[in-house]
Amino acid sequence: MSAAGDAAAKRRTAVLISGRGSNMVALIEAAKAPSFPAEIVRVVSNDPSAQGLQRAEASSIRTAVVDHKQFGKDREAFERALQSELESNATDLVCLAGFMRLLTPWFVTRWTNRLINIHPALLPDLKGLHTHARALEEGRKWHGATVHFVVPEMDAGPIIRQARVPVLPDDTEDKLGARVLEVEHRIYPEALRLVAEGRVQVVGNVCLVDGKPAETFA
């Protein structure tokens, strides 16, 4: 296949961020490989001061801002503007990478099995925030990260990929979080590759990867 054909076959992917965008950078770096099946076509932030916007631009990725504050408490109006931005770029897949807005069913259902998130815990355990501190407080022996499809219920979608790290005796929240972040940067590109290659099928609330249930650790 020609280079033009390879580019045409890539799934057009947008990344949504609210902060520094370290997982966004991992996705951008992975997508630079000619064989990677997804192309990062746009990075969108709800916060105009997000550091990740500059990091994306440094990699020649086009950026946009849809500032949620301009919409007050009207979440659907914000999401309609976000949807318009994504549609204008013919987006196939959306990756959330530190996007700190809860999305309503109005938005989520328009991206069923095409909206991907990464969570710093082994779902379905430790949903929500402050997962590293909670893992330490609960005396867990293992912690990790999960890439999953987004559904209207928070952190409850089908799991695409997980990886775990041991919780060490001298761990602090920062030490544990740093090790989890390392695996996040590995498994998010892996999961995006699987989805973009069409190797993930959702049956009920379970992901089948190459016809077999995705490996989980929780």
Active site residue 119: yes
End-to-end CA distance of the chain: give it in Å, rounded: 41
Angstrom distance (rounded) from CA 64 to CA 85: 8
Residue 59: Cβ within 10 Å count: 14
Q: Residue 110 has which token pair? A: 């328009």
Q: Which residues of 179-216 are buried (b: 16+ CB within 10 A; e: fewer)?
A: bbbebbbebbbebbbbbbeeebeeeeeebebeeeebeb
Write down how long the chain is: 218
Q: Which of 68, 119, 143, 185 is catalytic?
A: 119
Contact between 150 and 117 (Cβ < 8 Å): yes
Cα-Cα-Cα-Cα dihedral of 44, 173, 168, 149, to 10°? -30
Which amino acid would we find at residue 182? E
Q: Is 83 exposed, middle or buried (0-12, 13-18, 19+ CB in 10 A)?
A: middle
Kindly list the catalytic residues.
Answer: 119
